[in-house]
Structure 1
Amino acid sequence: MFSFRSSVTQHPLFTLVMGGTAVLLVLCIVSYPDQAFQASLQGLKVWWNIIFPALLPFLVLSEILIAYGFVHGLGVLLDPLMRVLFRLPGVGGWAWSVGWTAGYPAGAEAVIRLRKQQALTRREAERLLGLSHASSPIFMIAVVGVGFVQQAEVGLIIAIVHWASAILAMFILRSTDAFHPEPKSVSVSELRRSKRLPFYRRMLDAMELAHCQDGRPFGKLLGDAVTSAVQTLMMIGGYMMIFSVIIRVLRIAIPQELGSFMLNGLLEVNLGAYTFGSAAFQSTLFQTALLGAVIAWSGVSAHMQVHSLMKGTDLRYMRFLASRIVHAVAAYLLTYVLWWPLQALFHDSDSALSAFENLPDLSNAASSSSAVPASSLIHEKLTSLAAYTGWSQSLVLIPGLGLLLLCFIAVSRMLRWISNRR
């Protein structure tokens, strides 16, 4: 078990500011009880219809696969790829896959579990956390691209730029770690890297050793996995509800349009994406760049969720904050670099985007935003997409996760074959 203390949180001024903020929030809720109740209820609807069913299967299956050694066996296969690309052990490929398919904070949950098992060093876990903390492709393409911007190709561009900028941000952070070397992680895959054994034997040995170290029978393991997943999701739901209330109260106190844009973009990714996606911009390129930056930043609400998951580890939030800032800046700049090539690529591929035509119609959202609060609209629109992105998302993303892992394994095997030929 790790112990981690921050000198900032122990400062008396910090305690005074946080306590005063809490009192001010209570006074605002008492002053506007109807607004606070509606905002909390809307946050609850989005959490139950979208977040809970989308993340629960991944959180439960992640713990089961880790306990039975599947992740460690996969690390043996992915080790060459992860070492060459990111200087990370192969077990990090699982967290990377989960984060890029299920969205945040599923990737953070997987990384923190690996860190608690000491399969990753602190700096490796911090780099992998920045890489795996990504938005769900369903959200970027279906919700933002089709629902908010009403252009599926824009959603695809946002997704591609989002992933490319995440890798670029990880490389930037990796270059800074070169000045602070640390011992390599001692993982199960490292203990069974004897070249005299075939790769499948080393994979099975790694799985067996990890399962023996866990030692829980399946019944207890399943119960622990469900309990842990529900606790994590309850924490996420609480954050969504309280931030819905905070944003509603602050929107009443800051009615200016510029303040509304900044507030939504900084605090909550769903509200930020809706605000920038439904607004009327003269340049679609500028609008897409802003959307990419907001999604890469992911909002203070998601930051607090990851910060809560970090408790009990030695991972530093400031490193995660730096990765979010670098990711947001890289997403904004890469949008300008990749916009025209991707536009030319998708120009003749309109038929490939027809799969999203049956989504609920979110037109006229921008024109109605003046009459209805933006927080009400965003939650109503996201709830209307629940049939597509909620309970069905958990079934849609499982094959995608398997396909992504197969691609990683194929590339890893190719790298291993090249190294053996040498």
Structure 2
Amino acid sequence: MKFVLIILLLCIAILLFYLLKSKQVNILITIVLTSFIIYFILNPTLCIESSIKGAKLFFNSLFPSLFPFLVMTNILVAYDGVSIYAKLLGPIICKPLGLPKESSFALIVSLLCGYPLGAKYSCELYDSGSITPSQFSKLVNVASNSSPLFLVGAVGTSMLGSTKSGYLLLFSNYLSCIIIALILSSSNNNIMTNLKITKETRIYNFGTVLKESIENALKTTLSIGSYVVLFSVILSIIKNNAIYNIVLDKLYIISFLPKETLNGIFLGFIEVTNGCYILSQSSINYALKLSFISFLCAFSGLAIMAQVHSFTYKYEEISIIRYFLRKVLQGLISFCITFTTTLFIGEKILCTSSQIMPRVINYKNYIPVLLLVFISLISYISKKLFNVS
């Protein structure tokens, strides 16, 4: 039976390679979606249960933390608060990162609201002529972060049951983003401003601002919830696939990590919220659990990358493959920062008293390997991949 599955897997891989090589993406998408539809029809109970699980994850973890924050952020933007922050903090934030002060708007929005708004405003800055192509390529990667409320509220407090862990994730993700900004080189640091960003100044009464902010926040959170529910179903299909489980078994033998941890890592590559939730429920050592979650949050997942690509696809300066590789590197840096910090401050400080400490693993043995991977990736990728022209 396993031999038949391996043969089937090879045939599928050859078919996918042929379709991608011949650029027949429409046929590939049709085949994949048809397979999903057939699976829905044959397994309606599983699909409904996974949809309900995704909806519960959204309403219990994401919606309570994101919705109020987005409302307040929208009010802040409506009253031009972000521009005020940009004028005050722009030189302080942008100069150390090697970016023009005009990019402070996109950076601050990214810090406040998270994916994918940083990419959206980066595109608007480039369209206005306020930043050069090399600066645009750099800014899209730097202005890509998880929001504070997702890291501290949804992941730290709701999933892990530890607000302190959420703050550590916030620290690791933002520090890794700063390191990426320092690694990336810009071929021209002079600002080539063709046009000035002009914003229409409109005076709102607070009632109008509040109404529009709530509507916008509700639209945004429901959009995020739709992604979570949809990918919950897709991930459920993947988890119950025989080929996927065979591959997972082989990797379990090689890596010595629990299957549920491997499951959370691989599924988190596709959709970060579900991946973080699976990892938060795993029985792995807390330091490794937190570090893997930190990697996923910094990496962001393919679902969020698709949202970013929806803004950047029309620009030749932005390569989604290069963006993907840079996010992988940022995830690895965030993993190392979280792991090292957890070793330094101790796990008991991060865990609440009500949490049961997982089984102990001698994870100090991982330090030489982590350092080797970290140094190798930094030296190689900075030379080969980050030459922006």
TM-score range, shorter chain: 0.5 to 0.7
- Whether the 8 Å CA contact 2:279–2:289 is kept in 1: the answer is yes
- Report Cα offsets for 1:190-218 as digits up to 9, x if no partner: x7xxxxxxxxxxxxxxxxx823xx47786
Which secondary structure does the structure 1 equivalent of 2:101 belong to? coil
User: Could you say which residue in structure 2 is the equivalent of 1:405?
Assistant: none
1:295 aligned to 2:306? no
1:334 aligned to 2:337? yes
Q: CA deviation at 1:293?
A: 0.9
Which of 225, 229, 249 is residue 237 of structure 2 equivalent to?
A: 249
User: Could you say which residue in structure 2 is the equivalent of 1:308?
Assistant: 310
User: Could you say which residue in structure 1 is the equivalent of 2:326?
Assistant: 323
- Whether the 8 Å CA contact 1:162–1:292 is kept in 2: the answer is yes
- Report Cα offsets for 1:102-135 as digits up to 9, x if no partner: 3323433433343343333333233233223222
- Report Cα offsets for 1:296-341 as digits up to 9, x if no partner: 1122222122222335555432343133111111112223433344
Moved more, 129-138 or 50-59: 50-59
1:278 aligned to 2:285? no
1:265 aligned to 2:265? no
Q: Distance in 2 between matches of 1:20 and 1:183?
A: 48
The change in CA–CA distance for 1:269 and 1:320 in structure 2 (over 3 A counts) is same
Which of 13, 23, 38 is residue 12 of structure 1 equivalent to?
A: 23
The change in CA–CA distance for 1:294 and 1:87 in structure 2 (over 3 A counts) is same
Q: CA RMSD in A?
A: 4.1
Q: CA deviation at 1:48?
A: 6.1
- Report Cα offsets for 1:359-416 as digits up to 9, x if no partner: xx8x68x9xxxxxxxxxxxxxxxxxxxxxxxxxxxxxxxxxxxxxxxxxxxxxxxxxx
Q: CA deviation at 1:87?
A: 1.9
The change in CA–CA distance for 1:55 and 1:138 in structure 2 (over 3 A counts) is closer
Q: Distance in 2 between matches of 1:148 and 1:75?
A: 33
> Aligned AA for 1:287?
K
User: Could you say which residue in structure 1 is the equivalent of 2:227?
Assistant: 239
> Aligned AA for 2:269?
L
Alignment of 1:73-88 (within 5 A): 74-88=85-99
Q: Distance in 2 between matches of 1:62 and 1:124?
A: 26
Which of 169, 173, 180 is residue 158 of structure 1 equivalent to?
A: 169
- Whether the 8 Å CA contact 1:119–1:186 is kept in 2: the answer is yes
- Whether the 8 Å CA contact 1:58–1:98 is kept in 2: the answer is no
Alignment of 1:31-180 (within 5 A): 31-44=42-55, 47=58, 50-51=62-63, 53-54=67-68, 56-57=70-71, 60-61=74-75, 64=78, 71=82, 74-172=85-183, 174-175=184-185, 177=186, 180=187
> Aligned AA for 2:232?
S
- Report Cα offsets for 1:233-276 as digits up to 9, x if no partner: 66544433321211111112145536623432211212211222
- Number of residues of Structure 1 aligned to a counterpart in Structure 2: 319
Which secondary structure does the structure 2 equivalent of 1:91 belong to? helix
Q: Distance in 2 between matches of 1:117 and 1:237?
A: 32
User: Could you say which residue in structure 2 is the equivalent of 1:22?
Assistant: 33
Please report the TM-score for the alignment, with normalisation by the length of structure 2.
0.66
Q: CA deviation at 1:171?
A: 1.5
> What runs of 5+ residues in structure 1 fail to find an aligned partner?
1-7, 192-208, 367-422
The change in CA–CA distance for 1:160 and 1:225 in structure 2 (over 3 A counts) is closer
Moved more, 12-21 or 239-248: 12-21
Q: Distance in 2 between matches of 1:72 and 1:10?
A: 46
User: Could you say which residue in structure 1 is the equivalent of 2:370?
Assistant: none
Q: CA deviation at 1:11?
A: 4.8
> What runs of 5+ residues in structure 2 fail to find an aligned partner?
1-18, 249-258, 359-389
- Whether the 8 Å CA contact 2:267–2:275 is kept in 1: the answer is yes
Q: Distance in 1 between matches of 2:135 and 2:266?
A: 32
